[in-house]
Amino acid sequence: MIDPYAQAADAIEKAGLVIALTGAGISVESGIPDFRGPDGIWVKHPPERYASISAYLEDPDRVWQFWVKLARMCRNCKPNAAHGALAVLEHAGLLHAVITQNVDNLHQDAGSRRIIEYHGNARWLVCLKCGARDPFDLERPPERAPHCQCGGLKKPDVVMFGETIPADALLEAEVLAVQCDVALVIGTSAQIYPAAEIPLTAKRHGAFVVEANIQRTDLTPAVTDTFLEGPAATTVPKLAAMLTP
């Protein structure tokens, strides 16, 4: 029987360009709940009421309070061994970029440098009118949704439901998916489009797909070449240890 870790390590060693697509599953062991699971964030806080741009524009103060709590939770969490292992692979020249669906900033905290934030970053605010970005002051956040100097309403710089993925992130991720030789899919079932297109595009263009998830997903029979079963904080460091001193 072929060892999936050896198979994945061999593919990475031979590859010219390796990318990683990460989802909520990589941050669960840092203390950030999954969004869509049985105990996920969206169960208690339905996205149509707390995470859609229409809800924010209709009642910005209510939605603002939710995002203050979520951003604080992200800030108080620390990167786990999976985040660290991806940073190690990047520093060793074995990983070109991380495309993350997460908004928690944990890849940056772990030391990764080339990060494409597909859904934004909850530690920043953006003005809906002029586009100015500012750090999210979580020590003294305003009780009500803030406004910019230009008069526009500010919101967390995340992609809410009803908003589009930033064009630069969308294009850069697509180009990397086409060019990569190996795609690591970690902690995500890749069901939400357009992020779901990334592993599909990589596979169509000849990439070797390594999936690391708690359990097999719909992605597994469709594109996965080798499957690493278990928590990301276990599987990803194990793979990285085979590739780095």
Tally of CB atoms within 10 A around 117: 22
Helix pair 4-14, 232-243: axis angle to 10 deg: 50
H or E stretch at 42: helix 41-44
Kindly state the tokens that stand for 178.
Answer: 């086409």
* C-alpha span between 195 and 53 (Å, rounded): 19
Active-site residue, selected from the candidate residues 91, 107, 119, 147: 119
Name the phi and psi angles at 213, rounded to 5: -145, 165
Distance of CA 147 to the CA centre of its chain: 28
Name the phi and psi angles at 23, rounded to 5: -130, -165
Alpha helices in 92-218 (DSSP H): 106-110, 167-179, 197-204
Q: Is 119 a catalytic residue?
A: yes
Q: Which are the catalytic amino acids?
A: 119
